[in-house]
Amino acid sequence: MTTHTFGDTAVLLGRSLRHITRSLDTIITTAIMPIAFMLLFVYVFGGAINTGAGTDSYVNYLLPGILLITIASGISYTAFRLFMDMKSGIFERFQSMPIARSSVLWAHVLTSLVANLISLVVVVLVALLMGFRSGAGVLPWLAVAGILILFTLALTWIAVIPGLTAKTIDGASAFAYPLIFLPFLSSAFVPTGTMPGPVRAFAEHQPVTSIVNAIRNLLAEQPVGTDIWIALAWCVGILIAAYVFAMVIYRRKIS
What are the pLDDT digits (tens) for 62-82?
A: 999 999 999 998 888 888 888
User: Which domain, by its residues, includes 206?
Assistant: 3-254
Instruction: Specify whether the CB–CB gap between 144 and 62 falls below 8 A.
Output: no
User: For residues 28 and 210, which has the higher predicted lDDT (pLDDT)?
Assistant: 210
108: Cβ–Cβ under 8 A, 6 or more apart, which residues?
16, 78, 81, 82, 85, 156, 160, 163
**The predicted structure's pLDDT at residue 126:** 93
What are the pLDDT digits (tens) for 36-71?
A: 889 988 888 766 666 655 445 889 999 999 999 999
**The predicted structure's pLDDT at residue 55:** 43
The total domain count for the chain is: 1
Residue range 130-144: mean pLDDT, rounded: 91
CA-CA distance, 116 to 110, in Å (whole number)? 10
User: For residues 22 and 215, which has the higher predicted lDDT (pLDDT)?
Assistant: 215
